């Protein structure tokens, strides 16, 4: 029986949701185990999602890079144990160590599969020994994923469909409901298992990620009854603010470790004062991701102190440089990225044009943009999300990186994606037919259609801006009680005054992105609220959670994960100790996150 | 700046038409066509459809192509340099306004 309001029904064994690496890996793994697999993606596979926004690369332990992936000259002394230790330390000990164990042991084979696809797609993944890290670009990685789909033609791919909610029956996930962005058709997916691979959330107005990181998977899982955790931890990197046509480019982060840019520019705040990172941190190599934390701390602090006056803004200052130094720096950058980009370009940045601007202005306007959320769905080492039929992989999960991702998101999505696909295939073995609950379907459709029925109200576009502005206001890289309370108050206001009054300018369902936005903002506000509440609760600083009013890293009281779950219509928080398998949790306190970082070196 | 935008909902309209908007583009600020469209959608006309889901805005996904003053270009990379803009869909397979039918899905 098909409810009238459903336009299409797709029946499958396993539904993977997402268009990036985690979803593709899960789909391939499940398909190889003889199941019928449908991959549904918000955009096009390999041309959507945060996977294509990557600027760096991905790594594993040195021994496996040699033994499993056949790379010569790599540092085999960087063992699995060393990778495990580094991941846990960088997480400020908030990693669930069973998840780290899964990552360390299953990543090599997953990465090998990815390297094979890349080779078949004629994409260059470059490893510069001795570091067991492959460098690539977003576009190259996207093409690699398209190759994976091409090599597994039995995987059914449904693109440009936004999944609205998971379907539950008898406390089991039995599918999902989606909307085709182009036609506005409502699609019912009936599945024996679902893999969420939808990425993280990004609540701010300033973006360097894909445009709609609204945390759909995290919010859907929460509504379905799953637990989410670590939502207060968001990772920032320096991002271009101006000129406007290249706003959002992560080139300023790449400049911090590009060999040709070494020490060329100084970083100054909006008052013109240089921001100096103390010498004791110089021993951290420039390409080490720990530097992201230092930039958030030192540059973020300078921004935070003047944020009301100047906004999220600093400058890369080249005033002391000769023309020659600037030219050489850009020449190096052009050469470095010509492997993956049109010569003289980095994605949409014309490097020659940017060089001319910098030669003239002697500065580049930069802000801190959020690139990754450490928080997400709580999973076990099989990638099960704690509800029968529901699995999750990649950035949508929590558990691997804790308070700070000092490792590679690409490796995470591959290692977890394959495992989630395998687990889902195993799970459906014992499942015969599943039934969907039509009452739930009717109620979801009723909910998403409501904005069409209102003749006046507030535009979902405005609601999205208001949610983002609320996050900008007090839930930033640095936080304090007052700011967080003000964010939470504004989110509450939006929930009461705006969400129930959303209306649409066009009543047509055809590519009605205002309507799609009305669906997505509910996910964004849920993630934003969970993150802000957790940030208020955590009265200490840890990893990417930096509180001006509680600067200490306080292991005595706060070496716990904050988990969120729905209680009725409310998000309720609880705490628990991280899962320990190997490295005992440290005790005591550190004066600041800087002290903690120095302690780990 | 005067911006003329092609509008059409094939489920209702037999033919397309142009709608005019006044957008405060400052050429010194280096707006992109995507900035112009975002401005219209947020401030002037919420009903305008243009490619906006899962947008990279960095010239990576290459899905936001439209016809700018006659030439097909990516909205997110194309800088506004002229004093007047005519924005049209890239072909005549219009889904709505500036959005055209997608390429064939993976088979």
B interface test, pick of A510, A514, A519, A521 with most B CB neighbours within 10 Å: A510
pLDDT of A427 > 70? The answer is: yes
What is the CA angle A189-A411-A199, rounded to 5?
40
Which of A375, A417, A378 minimizes the C-alpha distance to A529? A375
Tens digit of each residue's pLDDT (9 = 90 or more) over B78-91? 999 999 999 999 99
Nearest-CA distance A457 → chain B (Å) = 12
Structurally, chain A folds into a number of domains equal to 1
Two tokens, residue A93: 């000990």
Residue A349 counted as domain residue = yes
C-alpha A165/C-alpha A69 separation (Å) is 39
Nearest CA in chain A to B98: A511
Across the interface, whether the CB atoms of A245 and B102 are under 8 A apart is answered no
State yes or no: pLDDT of B104 exceeds 60: no
The span from the CA of A217 to the CA of A42, in Å, is 12
Secondary structure (H, E, C), A320-384: CCCHHHHHHHHHHHHHHHCCCCCCCEECCEEHHHHHHHHHHHCEEEEEEEEEEECCEEECCCCCE
Phi, psi of A408, deg, nearest 5: -105, 120
Contact between B57 and A42 using a beta-carbon 8 Å cutoff: no
Q: What is the CATH number of the domain that holds A277?
A: 3.90.700
Quickly state the pLDDT bin for A4 (edges 50, 70, 90). confident
Q: Residue A394: inside a domain, yes or no?
A: no
**Cβ–Cβ gap B95/A149 under 8 Å:** no
Contacts of B29 in chain A (CB under 8 A): 242-244
A90: part of which helix (H) or strand (E)?
helix A80-90
pLDDT tens digits, A235-246: 999 999 999 999
- Residue-level pLDDT at A1: 55
Question: In this complex, which of B9, B41, B57 lies closest to A211 when CB atoms are compared?
Answer: B57
- Selecting from B49, B60, B102 the residue whose C-beta is nearest the C-beta of A512 gives B49
**Residue A285, domain extent:** 234-371
Chain A residues touching B56 at Cβ < 8 A: 52-53, 138, 210-211
For residue A254, being part of any structural domain is answered with yes
If pLDDT is split at 50, 70 and 90, which confidence band does A434 have? confident
pLDDT at B106 over 70: no
Q: Which residues contact B46 (CB under 8 A, 6 or more apart)?
A: A459, A461, A504, A505, A506, A514
What ipTM describes this predicted complex?
0.96
Q: Which residue has the higher pLDDT, B33 or B101?
A: B33
Q: What is the pLDDT of residues A49-73, one digit of tens each?
A: 898 999 888 999 999 999 999 999 9
Please say if the pLDDT value at position B23 is more than 90: yes
What rounded mean pLDDT belongs to chain A? 96
Q: Do B9 and A506 touch (CB under 8 A)?
A: yes
Q: How far is B71 from chain A (nearest CA, A)?
A: 18
Instruction: Give per-residue pLDDT as tens, A140-199.
Output: 999 999 999 999 999 999 999 999 999 999 999 999 999 999 999 999 999 999 999 999
Instruction: For A42-54, write each residue's pLDDT tens digit.
Output: 999 999 989 899 9
Give domain status of residue A365, yes or no: yes
- Percent of chain A topping pLDDT 90: 95
Segment A556-571 shows an average pLDDT of 97
Does residue A332 fall inside a structural domain?
Answer: yes
Which residues from chain A sit within 8 angstroms of residue B81, using beta carbons? Answer: none
> Average of pLDDT values for A88-107?
98
| A185 in a structural domain | no
Residue A333 domain-assigned (yes or no): yes
pLDDT in tens, B34-61: 999 999 999 999 999 999 999 999 999 9
Is A335 domain-assigned? yes
pLDDT band at A489 (very low <50, low <70, confident <90, very high): very high
Q: Is the pLDDT at A473 greater than 80, yes or no?
A: yes
Q: Is the pLDDT of residue A496 over 60?
A: yes
Which two three-digit tokens encode residue A538? 């955590």
Digit-coded pLDDT (tens) for A325-367? 999 999 999 999 999 999 999 999 999 999 999 999 999 999 9
Q: How confident is the model at residue A430 (pLDDT cuts 50, 70, 90)?
A: confident
Q: Which residues of B touch A19 (CB under 8 A)?
A: 54
Q: For position B86, what pLDDT does the model report?
A: 98
Q: Is the pLDDT of residue A273 over 70?
A: yes
CB A158 within 8 A of CB A187: yes
Q: How many helices (H) and strands (E) does chain B have?
A: 1, 7
pLDDT value at residue A166: 98
Give the per-residue pLDDT at A364.
97
- Report, as an integer, the average pLDDT of A365-388: 98
Q: What is the pLDDT of residue B27?
A: 80
């Amino acid at each position: 029986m098909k409810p009238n309001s459903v336009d299409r029904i797709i029946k499958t064994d396993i539904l993977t949701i997402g268009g990036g690496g985690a979803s593709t890996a899960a789909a391939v793994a499940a398909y190889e185990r003889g199941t019928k697999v449908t991959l549904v993606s918000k955009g096009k596979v390999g041309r959507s999602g945060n996977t294509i926004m990557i600027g760096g690369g991905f790594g594993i332990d040195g021994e496996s890079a040699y033994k499993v992936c056949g790379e010569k000259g790599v540092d085999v002394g960087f063992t699995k144990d060393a990778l495990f230790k580094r991941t846990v330390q960088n997480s400020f000990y908030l990693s669930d160590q069973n998840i780290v164990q899964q990552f360390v042991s299953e990543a090599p084979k997953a990465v090998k599969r990815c390297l094979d696809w890349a080779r078949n797609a004629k994409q260059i993944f470059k490893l510069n020994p001795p570091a067991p890290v492959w460098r690539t670009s977003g576009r190259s990685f996207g093409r690699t994923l398209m190759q994976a789909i091409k090599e597994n033609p039995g995987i059914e791919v449904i693109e440009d469909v936004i999944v609205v909610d998971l379907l539950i029956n008898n406390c089991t996930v039995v599918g999902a409901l989606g909307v085709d962005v182009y036609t506005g058709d409502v699609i019912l997916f009936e599945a024996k298992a679902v893999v969420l691979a939808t990425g993280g959330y990004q609540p701010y107005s300033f973006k360097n990620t894909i445009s709609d990181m609204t945390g759909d998977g995290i919010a859907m899982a929460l509504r379905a009854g799953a637990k989410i955790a670590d939502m207060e931890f968001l990772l920032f990197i320096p991002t271009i603010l101006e000129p406007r046509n290249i706003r959002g480019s992560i080139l300023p982060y790449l400049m911090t470790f590009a060999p040709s840019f070494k020490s060329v520019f100084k970083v100054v705040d909006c008052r013109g004062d240089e921001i100096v990172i103390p010498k004791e941190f110089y021993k951290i190599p420039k390409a080490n991701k720990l530097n992201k934390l230092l930039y958030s701390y030192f540059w973020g602090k300078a921004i935070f102190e003047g944020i009301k006056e100047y906004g999220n803004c600093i400058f890369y200052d080249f005033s002391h440089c000769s023309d020659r130094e600037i030219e050489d720096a850009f020449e190096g950058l052009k050469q470095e990225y010509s492997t993956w980009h049109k010569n003289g370009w980095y994605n949409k940045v014309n490097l020659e044009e940017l060089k001319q601007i910098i030669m003239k202005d002697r500065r580049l306007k930069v802000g801190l943009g959020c690139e990754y959320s450490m928080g997400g769905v709580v999973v076990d080492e099989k990638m099960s999300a704690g509800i029968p039929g529901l699995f999750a992989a990649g950035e949508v999960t929590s558990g691997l990186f804790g308070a700070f991702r000092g490792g590679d998101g690409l490796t995470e999505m591959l290692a977890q994606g394959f495992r989630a696909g395998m687990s889902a295939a195993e799970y459906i073995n014992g499942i015969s037919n599943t039934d969907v609950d039509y009452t739930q379907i009717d109620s979801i459709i009723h909910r998403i259609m409501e904005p069409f029925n209102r003749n006046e109200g507030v535009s979902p576009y405005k609601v999205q801006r208001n949610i983002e502005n609320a996050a900008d206001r007090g839930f930033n890289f640095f936080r304090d009680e007052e700011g967080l309370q003000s964010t939470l108050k504004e989110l509450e206001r939006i929930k009461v005054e705006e969400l129930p009054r959303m209306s649409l300018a066009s009543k047509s369902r055809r590519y009605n992105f205002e309507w799609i936005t009305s669906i997505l903002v509910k996910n964004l506000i849920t993630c934003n609220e969970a993150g802000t509440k957790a940030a208020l609760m955590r009265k200490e600083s840890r990893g990417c959670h930096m509180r001006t009013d509680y600067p200490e890293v306080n292991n005595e009281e706060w070496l716990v994960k904050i988990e969120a779950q729905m209680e009725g219509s409310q998000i309720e928080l609880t705490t628990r100790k991280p899962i320990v398998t190997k490295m005992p949790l440290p005790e005591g306190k550190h004066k600041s996150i800087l002290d903690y970082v120095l302690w780990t070196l | 700046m005067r911006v003329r935008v092609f509008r059409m909902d094939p489920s209702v309209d037999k033919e397309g038409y142009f709608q005019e908007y006044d957008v405060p583009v400052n050429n010194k600020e280096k707006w992109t066509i995507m900035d112009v469209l975002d401005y219209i959608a947020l401030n002037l006309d919420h009903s305008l459809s243009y490619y906006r889901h899962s947008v990279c805005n960095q010239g990576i996904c290459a899905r936001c192509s439209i016809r700018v003053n006659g030439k097909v270009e990516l909205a997110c990379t194309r800088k506004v340099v002229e004093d007047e803009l005519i924005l049209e869909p890239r072909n005549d397979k219009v889904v709505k306004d500036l959005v055209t039918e997608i390429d064939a899905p993976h088979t």
